[in-house]
Structure 1
Amino acid sequence: MSEPILSLREVYADIDQYHILHGVDLDVPAGELTVLLGRNGAGKSTTLRTIMGLTTLTRGQVRFQGRDIGGTATPAIARGGIAFVPENMGIFGQLTVRENMVLAAVSGAMDEPRLDWIFEVFPPLKKFWNRAAGNLSGGQKQMLAIARAVIEPRELLLVDEPTKGLAPAIINDLADAFEQLKQQQVSILLVEQNFNFSRRLGQSVAVMSDGHIVHRGTMAELAEDEDLQHELLGLGLGAHQ
């Protein structure tokens, strides 16, 4: 594995009176796609939100590129090179696709070669460039959410459940897009319940249970060990299509 671009050490986080994260230790190797797996309620989404400063870090350390970002305001974290695609996608439904993209290009005008690449990866965004984002299909909204996150170069991309509720053809398009991001050496931390999608893309993997990490390793090793899959996740990867 390469050196981590992101490291969490003994991270605790609460939501209201509920203790959600209980000492999370997690490394995201630079230039790789790391999958964060776990059953519902394990704390995966809260981990991403804590990294982004959207959930309060109560104890522990979050280091990005060697810098401690724990307690940093979310806008500063984003400007520092981390993009976040939440489960609810976070797009502005009343704005057009173009307006959503303009807002995401915080450094100024959109880079034309990068926009051309996005159109190549996600052709519907070009087709519906002037359509209100709220009128897009679920898959097209997810394309827009990811496109907004990568319209500017990012060091790290956090993505929460990108395939949820999408048709297989759209999921395949998203997988192709992530493959291209991997080729560009973008570091990615992906929370995903579609295990075939995870197995195709993941290089390293961490498994959460009850607010902490219970397994770390390579995705290839986990994909080959059905007994371990059942132990950690309750079902083998092969049972998920």
Structure 2
Amino acid sequence: MSDDAILRLSGVHTHIGQYHILQGVDLQVPRGGVSMLLGRNGAGKTTTMRTIMGLWRASAGEVVFDGQPIHSLPTPAIARLGIAYVPENMGIFAGLTVRENMSLAARSGPMDSDRLDWIWGVFPALKKFWDWPAGNLSGGQKQMLAVARAVIEPCRLLLVDEPTKGLAPAIVGALIDAFGELKQETTILMVEQSFHMAERIGDSVAVMDDGHIVHAGSMAELASDTELQGRLLGLSLEGAL
């Protein structure tokens, strides 16, 4: 992995109530490209994302973004540094139109027309359904809207939690293409359950188990080693996590 990490977690512990979820997470996210965060259900992946965003507070350890400690900052301040987050539940407003959802996400003012044209190029369906209520979109289109909202203003780091969960294969293919485009302009850290998705777009990978990082390296290396996949992820061949 590159020494030029845009994000570093060092010895991070997170408690949620009485539960000790993260138990000393050490994670480096290289600058540029897509870093995958994989692991079995309950390993601590979503907790890691929410801890980075300050939605859950680290009880020990450091989260450092581009040289600046952020683990004590409130979530809005973390977002202002250029970190955007797409949660597993997408976080869109079903009763508002696609246009209104996007307008709300443009925090610094009206949507930039050039930026909007670029987003429509990445997600053509959003232009087609621009004035539709977001609640009327398909699951895949809602996911595209959630990602588009996160990048309507350029960000330095995009956190995405399980973007392909429950989506049809054709939609997954479209998202793979979209993230391939997005990673040209921003660093992405993605939690994903589909190993097919992970090996298609991932550049680096970290694997979690029981609140720890148990493996880190290149995605290509993990994708080519079926024995390692089985040991770390319980994969039989190419199946989902």
TM-score of Structure 1 vs Structure 2, range by shorter chain: over 0.9
Mapping for residues 168-207 of structure 1, pairs under 5 Å: 168-184=169-185, 186-207=186-207
Aligned equivalents of 2:154, 2:223: Cα separation in 1: 31
What count of residue pairs does the alignment treat as equivalent? 240
1:208 paired residue number: 208
Aligned AA (2:162): E
Aligned equivalents of 2:3, 2:173: Cα separation in 1: 27
Aligned AA (1:111): D
2:91 paired residue number: 90
Mapping for residues 23-172 of structure 1, pairs under 5 Å: 23-172=24-173
Aligned equivalents of 1:209, 1:18: Cα separation in 2: 15
Q: Tell me the C-alpha RMSD between the 2 structures.
A: 1.1
- Residues 12 and 25 of structure 2 are in contact (CA less than 8 Å); yes or no, is this contact kept in structure 1? yes
Instruction: Indicate the percent of aligned positions where both proteins have the same amino acid.
Output: 66
Q: Once the 2 structures are TM-superposed, how far is the Cα of residue 17 of structure 1 from its aligned partner?
A: 1.1
The runs of at least 4 consecutive aligned structure 1 residues that moved more than 3 Å come to: none
Aligned AA (2:200): R
| 240 and 13 in structure 1: CA distance in 2 versus 1, 3 angstrom threshold | closer
Aligned equivalents of 2:237, 2:223: Cα separation in 1: 7
Return 5+ residue gaps in structure 1 as ranges.
Answer: none
- Residues 134 and 142 of structure 2 are in contact (CA less than 8 Å); yes or no, is this contact kept in structure 1? yes
- Residues 95 and 133 of structure 1 are in contact (CA less than 8 Å); yes or no, is this contact kept in structure 2? yes
- Residues 223 and 237 of structure 1 are in contact (CA less than 8 Å); yes or no, is this contact kept in structure 2? no
Aligned equivalents of 2:94, 2:239: Cα separation in 1: 35
Q: Deviations over 1:112-162 (max 9, x none)?
A: 111111112211111111111111111110000000001111000000000
Aligned equivalents of 1:59, 1:28: Cα separation in 2: 19
Aligned AA (1:213): I
- 1:3 is the counterpart of 2:4: yes
Aligned AA (2:36): V
Aligned equivalents of 1:188, 1:54: Cα separation in 2: 19
SS of equivalent to 1:118: helix
Aligned AA (2:220): A
Aligned equivalents of 1:3, 1:127: Cα separation in 2: 40
Aligned AA (1:127): K
Q: Once the 2 structures are TM-superposed, how far is the Cα of residue 239 of structure 1 from its aligned partner?
A: 2.9
Return 5+ residue gaps in structure 2 as ranges.
Answer: none
Q: If the length of structure 1 is used for normalisation, what is the TM-score?
A: 0.97
Aligned equivalents of 2:145, 2:237: Cα separation in 1: 28
Aligned equivalents of 1:85, 1:60: Cα separation in 2: 24
- Residues 193 and 240 of structure 2 are in contact (CA less than 8 Å); yes or no, is this contact kept in structure 1? no
Q: If the length of structure 2 is used for normalisation, what is the TM-score?
A: 0.97
Aligned equivalents of 2:92, 2:99: Cα separation in 1: 12
SS of equivalent to 1:57: coil
SS of equivalent to 2:183: helix
| 237 and 44 in structure 1: CA distance in 2 versus 1, 3 angstrom threshold | farther
1:224 paired residue number: 224
Aligned equivalents of 1:177, 1:116: Cα separation in 2: 14
1:14 paired residue number: 15
- Residues 9 and 26 of structure 1 are in contact (CA less than 8 Å); yes or no, is this contact kept in structure 2? yes
